Amino acid sequence: MTVAIIDYGSGNLRSAAKAFERMTDRKVLVTDDPKLVESADHIVLPGVGAFKDCRKGLAAVPGMEEMLTRVVIEGGRPFLGICVGMQLMATVGEEFGDHPGLDWIKGRVVAIEPSDPSLKIPHMGWNQLQIEHRHPVLEGLEHGDYAYFVHSYHYLPDDEAHLLATVNYGEKLTAVIGRDNLVGTQFHPEKSQETGLRLISNFLNWKP
């Protein structure tokens, strides 16, 4: 029984691994080997930086995208995207031009444009979750629970049913998305203390 955190040159890999190790006695692998990822029970895709760079980094790992399509999309393996790792599930990311995503949950990643000009971009720090749709990975989380964000773009899913949680930052921003065996968080669960650890535990126990 293993958890694979994909190493493609982007993400707080050690920090993420420590948070997952805290919540499970399973082996947590940080790896760029598609064969090791393929054999894992749960798969995590972190991501920090620009959409374009993360997309290129993932595509540069030989065999990784093909394996993920086969195992996650066709095979139904539980998958968690974190921050830009979540955004990569979109159809298109608009940061520094339009760039195609994995198109796993249809939607676009667009710039944050708060209605209050005093609100700074990036949206950085603690913000309160609003639960839009109940989901097993959100079990035990409530309206008003705090999570830690650092981002200038956010995910607009085409289907509102895929929007599981939001936060308010001069506009409604996507915090958690999901469908079928896929879930993604814009916030960093590894930095979100009790909220993040609860979500990680829920994900590891999730059997979609």
With left for phi above 0 and alpha for psi between -120 and 50, is residue 96 left, alpha or beta?
left
Long-range contacts of 55-62 (CB under 8 A, 24+ apart): 55/88, 55/93, 55/99, 55/100, 55/101, 57/8, 57/9, 57/10, 58/6, 58/8, 58/88, 60/8, 60/9, 61/6, 61/8, 61/32, 61/34, 62/34
Residue 83 annotated as catalytic:
yes
Phi, psi of 153 (to 5 degrees): -125, 155
Given 38, 95, 132, 190, the catalytic residue: 190
Given 42, 151, 162, 188, the catalytic residue: 188
Given 42, 83, 151, 154, the catalytic residue: 83
Residue 54 annotated as catalytic:
no
Residue 139 annotated as catalytic:
no
Residues with active-site annotation: 83, 188, 190
